[in-house]
A and B are shown apart, each in its own frame.
Chain A
Amino acid sequence: MISKRSVQFKIYRYDPDRDEKPYLQDITVELEPSDKKLLDALVRLRAKDDSMSFRRSCREGVCGSDAMNINGKNGLACLTDVDSLVQPITLRPLPGLPVIRDLIVDMTQFFKQYHSIKPYLVNNEPTPERERLQSPEEREELNGLYECILCACCSTSCPSFWWNPDKFVGPAGLLAAYRFLADTRDQDTNARLDNLEDPYRLFRCHSIMNCVDVCPKNLNPTRAIGKIKDMMVRRAI
């Protein structure tokens, strides 16, 4: 049984309207027995200090809003058990992206890379009356790819993305690229591979695997990246 307990935090604070520079704030929060997830604790904290800012929506790990750096590792607040964390719990915004305020980062660069891989199905054949057929095995190829919630935990834990966020597509974008390459209904394979055949866009990935380690949906961008590289090699011979 979880009872009422107090939990200690160190939280990155920065409000450009007020603060000259960011600082880490020590905060203690009294939790109710029903507060189980880190997000519950943050909501409880906000009832005391309404200036503490972070994004959140679904509270069940599907919307991708509340990604943050939790004790040094990226994750979703709503899927993290408070009691599993070493105190003081240190919370920082996702690394490598400009901070707007407190735990809120500017995701522009992240979405720019996602958009750069043409994240939509391309099929120029006349539209059939009914669904395009796909066998269960062909559909299975999309498992582990389509479930991405665009939380950016992966890309913001990737050193290659930190150094070249404008040039390297990053794990989330590449996972999405492979999601369309792997779809039997998509006809844009060559253009998609051309789009990535570049010293930076794809090949900055050095298989460091940070991305796999942090993905809250247990997806494996490194494997997807490897498969794209395979397709490139196969195309070349």
Chain B
Amino acid sequence: MNVAKRTFDAVIVGAGGAGLRAALQLSESGMKTAVLTKVFPTRSHTVAAQGGVAASLGNSTEDNWHWHMYDTVKGSDWLGDQDAIEFMCKKANEVVIELEHFGMPFDRTDNGKIYQRPFGGHSMNYGQAPVMRSCAAADRTGHAMLHALYQRNVRANTQFFVEWMALDLIRNTDGDVLGVTAMEMETGEVSIFHAKATIFATGGAGRIYHSSTNAFINTGDGVGMAARAGIPLEDMEFWQFHPTGVAGAGVLITEGVRGEGGILRNASGERFMERYAPNLKDLASRDIVSRAMTTEINEGRGCGPDKDHVLLDITHLAPENIMKRLPGIREIAIQFAGVDPIKAPIPVVPTCHYQMGGIPTNYKGQVVVPKDGNSNVPVVGFYAAGECACASVHGANRLGTNSLLDLLVFGKSAGETVVEDFESGTLSLKPLPADAADASLARIARLESQTGGESVFDVGLEMRRTMQKHAGVFRFDQLLKEGVQKIGEVAERAKRTEIADKSKVWNIARMEALELDNLIEVARATMVSAEARKESRGAHVRDDALDTAENPNGRDDANWLKHTLWYSEGNRLDYKAVNLKPLSDDVKPIALAKRTY
């Protein structure tokens, strides 16, 4: 196959919040930049974010970045790196105000400032009471943000390659990153994008689970590409299950609903969160609420004929308020749950939502890997931001609204670092190896010629079911062990997928087969990392690591206060230290403590 070559200063893969924020930085600095995206930018899944973006603006209640940092470290169950967390919380006001200047239609307070609402795990004065920190545009914050960022990129003349799917990362023998191969959906042609800098902003991989709030396109492509190219994946055992996915449909109901006063109830109408989190109740952090709900259901207090969900009740809120602050949620409830939440409660279940782990980076957005005894050596030419990256600010459990913030802060920071590295002459266009496109071409050729293989649909379904059963909200040693075995078998089957459609033009079958390769990397990483971590922490809770005096909540800091690194080759695991030291002297390290809400 003929492979065209295109050359840029920088190539960004992904045009969600993180990719667009990085792109702005590069376009405005005059670098020749290509932004590749599988879908038109405003169709990226950032568009689905509802509840808000965190910043300690203090517009409605007193607030400051110290409190935000404390909440984030505690939310992460101390697995987050405190330098990156300090950086993010300190920068929050700046990037959110910037977004307002870009035209973001935030809701407003009576005195004209950005409207803020309470959100799970965000508190005042180190855990004392809920704080209003989530900056919101009704319940369409992600939509408003993504469109504002896209619009700003139109102004900056950013060059997009829309409906181009990146296939593989190109590295040379030194391990430096030289760009990506990519396929244009409309023609099926493969090209090499050769660049001095490559930024991955490909979003999450929630589609490894059967029940997920994620879009069809959230297939972990960046994470898969990195893994295949020998980059380790960090903390992949940590997946957030959002407490309130619409039962049966998976579509998200934002935590903002509880921020506005919504209450979770079991079959007897009891507000059960009062028992699990006496202080923050329904607004405790997500892992806690999801587990409480699962416990209620497992112990027979679920609702409905099958007792398989709980109810999210906002019938006590003023209808005007629901129409004003939660109009999108009302539409979703009517469309996907068949109930009008003004009149009846919404059936909800914990649903896979967010990938805490990802491609390891530092707070500057550089991808870092272990080398010569140092755990965090930047890979020349490689950067990542957003949900595909692990900075790590979310650690073992992300707080709601901290992801949109992560996109803005680290998208911008990755962009700035690339510009700096470019201007200081650290980056150069290195010669492409002769076999730069071979791996991608071989994957496509295999799909062309495969016979007697299996359908992508069937293998994908088996993967999603395996993940759901073996690595869910609660984890069991035996199920994890079997899961490692099973996912290995699914991975073997994925090597023999067969497609009937051989057209060059907009071949979705081929796209889905290539996406499955990426999902499988993510699924393997998740299962193997989860099986190995013999403690409970944040979103990862095992039956054999429960609350004891020595290990509160089952967390074992003596042995497990460390980041997992998983290598695709040989399913190998490695670990690296958590950075417990903040970036500056402005704040003291947040000392380890038991997490209660």
Known: A120-B152, A131-B97, A146-B147. A58 touches B505 (CB 8 A): no
Contact pick for B108, options A55, A134, A183, CB 8 Å = A134
* CB-defined contacts of B43 to chain A, threshold 8 Å: 57-58, 63-65
Q: Which of B110, B147, B154 has the most CB of A within 10 A?
A: B147
Q: Does B588 reach chain A (CB closer than 8 Å)?
A: no
Q: Does A101 reach chain B (CB closer than 8 Å)?
A: yes
In the assembly, what is the distance between CA of A123 and CA of B100, in Å?
12
Least distance between A69 CB and chain B CB atoms (Å)? 18
CB pair B336–A101 under 8 Å, yes or no, is no
* CB-defined contacts of A147 to chain B, threshold 8 Å: 140, 143
CB pair B216–A57 under 8 Å, yes or no, is yes
In the assembly, what is the distance between CA of A58 and CA of B137, in Å?
19
* CB-defined contacts of A183 to chain B, threshold 8 Å: 103, 105
In the assembly, what is the distance between CA of A100 and CA of B506, in Å?
8
* CB-defined contacts of A127 to chain B, threshold 8 Å: 101
CB pair A64–B154 under 8 Å, yes or no, is no
* CB-defined contacts of B101 to chain A, threshold 8 Å: 121, 123, 127-128, 131-132
Least distance between B464 CB and chain A CB atoms (Å)? 13
* CB-defined contacts of B455 to chain A, threshold 8 Å: 47, 50
CB pair B215–A50 under 8 Å, yes or no, is no
The segment out of B117-125, B174-182, B495-503 that lies at the interface is: B495-503
Closest-by-CB residue of A relative to B506 is A101
CB pair B335–A131 under 8 Å, yes or no, is no
In the assembly, what is the distance between CA of A133 and CA of B106, in Å?
11
CB pair B215–A135 under 8 Å, yes or no, is no
The segment out of A11-19, A23-31, A202-210, A223-231 that lies at the interface is: A11-19
* CB-defined contacts of A55 to chain B, threshold 8 Å: 39
CB pair A51–B40 under 8 Å, yes or no, is no
* CB-defined contacts of B249 to chain A, threshold 8 Å: 36
Closest-by-CB residue of A relative to B113 is A131
Residues facing A in B86-143 (CB within 8 A) are 97, 100-103, 105-114, 137, 140, 143
Q: Which of B103, B154, B217 has the most CB of A within 10 A?
A: B103
Least distance between B227 CB and chain A CB atoms (Å)? 23
Least distance between B282 CB and chain A CB atoms (Å)? 23
Least distance between A214 CB and chain B CB atoms (Å)? 16
Known: A50-B500, A59-B215, A146-B147. A65 touches B39 (CB 8 A): yes
* CB-defined contacts of B47 to chain A, threshold 8 Å: 58, 62-63, 149
Closest-by-CB residue of A relative to B137 is A146
* CB-defined contacts of B512 to chain A, threshold 8 Å: 50
CB pair A185–B216 under 8 Å, yes or no, is no
In the assembly, what is the distance between CA of A16 and CA of B331, in Å?
38
List residues of B whose CB falls within 8 A of some A CB.
39-40, 42-45, 47-48, 97, 100-103, 105-114, 137, 140, 143-144, 147-148, 151-152, 154-155, 186, 215-217, 248-249, 251-252, 328, 331-332, 335-336, 455-457, 499-501, 503-509, 512
Question: What are 28 A-to-B residue pairs whose CB atoms are below 8 Å?
Answer: A17-B503, A46-B508, A50-B457, A50-B500, A51-B500, A51-B509, A54-B508, A56-B216, A58-B43, A59-B215, A61-B331, A62-B48, A64-B42, A65-B40, A65-B43, A101-B506, A118-B155, A120-B102, A121-B103, A121-B148, A130-B97, A131-B101, A131-B106, A136-B107, A139-B106, A139-B108, A147-B143, A149-B47
**Contacts beyond the supplied A123-B101, A130-B97, A130-B113: 16 A-B pairs with Cβ under 8 Å:** A34-B248, A47-B457, A50-B501, A53-B506, A54-B508, A57-B215, A57-B216, A62-B143, A119-B154, A120-B103, A121-B103, A121-B148, A127-B101, A132-B100, A133-B111, A135-B112
